[in-house]
């Protein structure tokens, strides 16, 4: 799963501000060349080509825990070049690389592979090459929090296989251009598994072939842009449940693949899917992938937002494995994995951050989607109860935004703090219809694209008519939250902000008052008849509040 981040912003982010922030973080943690090779989105060996299409064709041997196969890369040159980079973990062997019926040799550097072509490829040219590979992929020790394959059993002896690789990257099990900044436009995923089980991957099933060698190949076509880490294997002797949702763009096919022994449970539990779609199409706009459909697939790990094939492992319980993460009771009225992981179809899959340092765009908005789901069905106060209840899980340890260019996420606070940042921003905007139009507008503007914190914040600024940049900066780029300080000066009460961002100013509302107050970094006199001890900011603002004593 992913981390959650949230922000509020007041001014346009300058390049120097971004750079200095990244330098501050990198000074605290040392990164290697391997980190840069994996994480850079500006390397000329990556920016020189735009990936258009993959045909991933993989055979899985569950007994040997090995894989073998190939991936066809179709690309367009964005500049003249002769050498490009793709990625595949070192523990997997590249058997050969074929380019126009000619075998080429790649040069490995850690998990990166540099491929030099016989002659320069000119800008605008569409071309292709195919990588054949094999080996024993990394087996995840604690999926989905670490990456790789999961080889499990169910019903005593039935193979149950899954992949999960968000964060570590899809090159842990298949060759690709492993960065979020360039999503493939479409893909064909061909997975061959023993005859007694079947594979469920992303998109639509377009072919099933008995290979006459004890294996069957399943071909899945993805018609929309997709993150590499979303491409998934799910294989066992699944039972299939089909349904249709009458959505805002017409009929959306719903397909559920579950363990046979859990089919009856699924038919009851998965009613939350239609509730989720109703809420999120209201808040965020149409489900982004009608052409590929929506699937829930039972997995031996907790869950992941695999596009159009959401992984489900919540054991048919309400809440998060039967727990309410907010402690309010609202989180036990719906299945956390169905709601949260499906929320990523809008934020994470439809809208994707270019660099995982900006993963709050995925996790903050999706964690906040849980509150919006609650609000849609149980009312605005219930939604607020839920997101405010999540604050007990916030650490305020390190910034939510990580260092850029090294494949490094920021704090896990991107989830709960991110959600509370967004709730705070909504409260500042103070116009629920405008807020909903911002959420749907984000999906319209950045849908099926990759983006950055700067672009998202600028969009919210533009649509809200407010300059929220400094707010977003404080919550996303620093560990601490702003502190609203009060002090008694004679008969007057004075107040100001204490924050890391220079010039920080954020309006807040006091309990029992109808209007906002506008603290800055300078002391001001508060017009109030209340005593200093009775002053309290309303709960919708995620801040610290202190009374300074002489």
261 is catalytic: no
Annotated catalytic residue: which of 290, 294, 415, 416? Answer: 415
CA pair distance 56, 202, nearest whole angstrom: 12
Q: What SS3 class is residue 91?
A: coil
| 38 phi and psi angles, rounded to 5 deg | -75, -40
Has 340 been labeled as part of a binding site? Answer: yes
Token pair 């951050």 is found at 353
341 is catalytic: yes
The answer to whether residues 57 and 69 touch, using CB atoms and an 8 Å cutoff, is yes
CA pair distance 50, 479, nearest whole angstrom: 36
The answer to whether residues 408 and 402 touch, using CB atoms and an 8 Å cutoff, is yes
- Sequence-ordered list of residues with C-beta below 8 angstroms from that of 324, at least 6 positions apart, any chain: 330, 331, 332
Q: Both tokens of residue 180? A: 């979020």
63-73 exposure pattern, b = at least 16 Cβ within 10 A, e = fewer: eeeebbbbbbb
Has 109 been labeled as part of a binding site? Answer: no
Specify burial of residue 226 (Cβ count, 10 A radius: 0-12, 13-18, 19+): buried
The answer to whether residues 181 and 196 touch, using CB atoms and an 8 Å cutoff, is no
Token pair 């009460």 is found at 493
Token pair 């981390």 is found at 3
Q: At what angle do helices 380-389 and 360-378 cross, to 10 degrees?
A: 140
Instruction: Please name every residue paired with 487 in a beta bridge, in sequence order, or none if there are none.
Output: 494, 548
Q: What SS3 class is residue 522?
A: coil
Annotated catalytic residue: which of 341, 370, 375, 409? Answer: 341
Q: Both tokens of residue 464? A: 């809200």
Cis bond before residue 8 (omega within 30° of 0): no
Of 275, 343, 347, the closest CA to residue 310 belongs to 343
CA pair distance 492, 131, nearest whole angstrom: 73
Has 363 been labeled as part of a binding site? Answer: yes
Three-class HEC string of 394-446: CCCCCCCCCCCCCCCCCCHHHCHHHHHHHHHHHHHHCCHHHHHHHHHHHHHHH
- Sequence-ordered list of residues with C-beta below 8 angstroms from that of 125, at least 6 positions apart, any chain: 76, 77
Binding-site residue ranges for Zn(2+): 340, 344, 363
- Enumerate the active-site residues: 341, 415
Binding-site residue ranges: 340, 344, 363
């Amino acid at each position: 799963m992913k981390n959650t981040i949230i922000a509020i912003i007041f001014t346009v982010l300058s390049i120097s501000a971004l750079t200095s922030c990244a330098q501050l973080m990198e000074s605290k943690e040392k990164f290697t060349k391997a980190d840069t090779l994996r994480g850079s989105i500006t390397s000329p060996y990556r920016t020189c080509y735009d990936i258009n299409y993959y045909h991933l064709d993989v055979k899985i041997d569950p007994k040997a825990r090995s894989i073998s196969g190939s991936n066809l890369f179709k690309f367009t040159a964005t500049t003249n070049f002769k050498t490009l980079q793709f990625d595949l973990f070192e523990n997997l062997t590249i058997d050969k690389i074929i380019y126009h019926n000619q075998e080429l040799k790649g040069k490995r550097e850690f998990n990166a592979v540099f491929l030099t072509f016989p002659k320069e490829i000119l800008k605008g040219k569409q071309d292709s090459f195919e990588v054949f590979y094999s080996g024993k992929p990394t087996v995840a020790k604690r999926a989905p929090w670490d990456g790789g394959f999961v080889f499990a059993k169910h019903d005593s002896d039935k193979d149950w296989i899954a992949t999960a690789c968000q964060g570590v990257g899809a090159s842990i099990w298949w060759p690709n251009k492993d960065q979020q900044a360039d999503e493939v436009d479409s893909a064909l995923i061909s997975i061959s598994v023993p005859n007694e089980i079947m594979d469920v991957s992303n998109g639509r099933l377009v072919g099933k072939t008995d290979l006459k060698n004890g294996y069957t190949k399943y071909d899945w076509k993805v018609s929309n842009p997709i993150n590499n880490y979303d491409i998934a294997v799910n294989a066992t002797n699944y039972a299939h449940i089909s349904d249709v949702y009458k959505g805002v763009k017409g009929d959306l096919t719903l397909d559920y693949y579950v363990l046979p022994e859990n089919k009856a449970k699924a038919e009851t539990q998965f009613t939350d899917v239609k509730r989720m779609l109703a809420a999120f199409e209201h808040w965020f706009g149409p489900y982004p992938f009608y052409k590929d459909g929506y699937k829930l697939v039972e997995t031996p790990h907790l869950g992941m937002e695999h596009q159009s094939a959401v992984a489900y492992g919540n054991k048919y319980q309400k809440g998060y494995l039967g727990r309410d993460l907010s402690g309010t009771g609202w989180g036990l009225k719906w299945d956390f994995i169905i709601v949260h992981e499906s929320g990523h179809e809008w934020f994470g899959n439809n809208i994707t951050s270019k660099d995982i340092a900006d993963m709050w765009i995925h996790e903050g908005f999706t964690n906040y989607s849980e509150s919006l789901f609650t609000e849609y069905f149980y009312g605005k106060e219930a939604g607020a109860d839920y997101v405010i209840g999540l604050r007990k899980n916030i650490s305020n340890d390190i910034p939510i935004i990580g260092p850029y260019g090294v494949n490094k996420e920021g704090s896990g606070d991107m989830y709960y703090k991110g959600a509370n940042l967004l709730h705070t921003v909504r409260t500042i905007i103070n116009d629920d219809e405008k807020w909903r139009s911002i959420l749907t507008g984000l999906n319209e503007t950045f849908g099926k694209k990759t983006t950055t914190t700067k672009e998202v914040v600028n969009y919210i600024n533009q649509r809200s008519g407010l300059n929220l940049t400094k707010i977003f900066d404080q919550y996303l780029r620093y560990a601490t939250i702003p502190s609203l300080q009060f002090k008694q000066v004679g008969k007057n009460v004075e107040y100001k902000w204490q924050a890391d961002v220079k010039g920080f100013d954020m309006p807040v509302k006091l309990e029992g008052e109808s209007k906002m107050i506008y603290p800055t970094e300078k002391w001001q006199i508060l017009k109030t008849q209340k005593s200093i001890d009775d002053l309290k900011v309303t709960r919708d603002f995620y801040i610290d509040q202190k009374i300074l004593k002489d």
